[in-house]
Structure 1
């Protein structure tokens, strides 16, 4: 393979495909690693589909809080399906190739569902704020029509934010000898660094998307909980305070499960280039796989109505 300098005179090059590395340094045991990954993907899909089925089949759960939970479950299913095919192809069959355009499509959906998850968590914090600060008008404020519009706004925001990204990448000249991706899926910072061109615009737009979505969402969630805490502290009895805060525990845990890995992966890709490749890979998997696995567990354990409805539905299934 010739050094990269010898390609300076090539006018334009886009690779027909990229080569995915999987988990760097652990290629020899990908077969063993595939077992916990398969278990996590199965748990994520099963748990989130069970949440969706439970809310749909239980009339008492047809409330704003559980509609937003269904949105979170749908987003987690989408996030899981975005990485599942290529990850398991690499780990199970050692199939590492992904076409250039297929890579851009996967990247678009992966990041779109991530932005949607951030937006849904923000919507859920607004739901908790309304429920605690203005409980008598809760149903009047968060009507089915309002919730539907919030859902459309979440999808539109993610789609419009990520729509330019594939086109910004397609305009770049890539290096013929830099087609090896650091993960078993297409991640925007990873793909754009395979280019032999000025990627300043791509970096700035990527930073804009992160700040304007997850950055703003996290600040608004903190603001929501500041207002919630102020309202709760104004309640007369300690028992009322505990009951009010207890309705927020599941959501707070879901926020931490999502935003801590998001912050970690953003920091590592921008400031941790000196770190071993395996650290980048593990943090990326933590960001993409762990929230869809843990969210159904959090809500089924901490939310009594969800837990009871789920158990009732499973009992009916076993008896039929």
Structure 2
């Protein structure tokens, strides 16, 4: 298949492009470089040995986006393009609603117009809200705590309604848990702009000396050691989940969790990083962050049964590859 990857220069998108090409598919990247870098294209070529078509296009610009559909004649869409910082979404809600919903609508409209029947959407476990884990796809959607999460939930609703009038389309909503790690080459990985919103890049920046210490938000949760528990999945496994969804999904709407099914606490992640990479991570316990929940991890039964998807890379792999990428950053 030829696959249009919106946001394909980003953390998850770039790894998915690699897996698509490694599996014999073609990728076409559309990305406005708002939260990514053009140098990623050079890294992708080095990893895959392929020249990958890249369009510096904002997916909210339907006219420019349609020119890509017209020229490339793609068979599928994987939609990653969206703003993703929770804190920023609270301070700039209109920006998040406008961008994240309009990108979804534009891609769905053009997929319908050009008869592109495979559509995979990058969603999030955020849509479950604060419910008891393990989280299952059959659960009702919960109350989101920020505009970012709400845009994921609303985009899911848009695509659900879209699927009802396009029953021959293969539409897949993939609910991610916590992607970390990097490609084993160390050439692509997560590069946050400014202060990292996510735990792993903050840890690697402390390890490299860019930051003095890590702040652990709360140690009084009802968890194994009092710190928050999350389901960390290697970004390469996550990328392979998209490949499984692309090739094995059925007509209509499908929803899958992509996680390991295991909860890991903040302190466990820190200690694993220290042990594997043989480097100290100074940290300070501070107060809880508003909106954080105690424990979030996936039930991966449905993805295993219907897609044959199961993660293979370990927590040790995740922390090793994250640090390897950080060390390679110029």
Pairwise TM-score range, normalised by the shorter structure? under 0.3
Normalising to structure 2: TM-score of the pair?
A: 0.24
Structure with greater strand share of residues: 2
Normalising to structure 1: TM-score of the pair?
A: 0.24
Structure with greater helix share of residues: 1
Higher-RCO chain (CA-CA 8 Å, sequence separation at least 6): 1
Higher CA-based Rg: 1
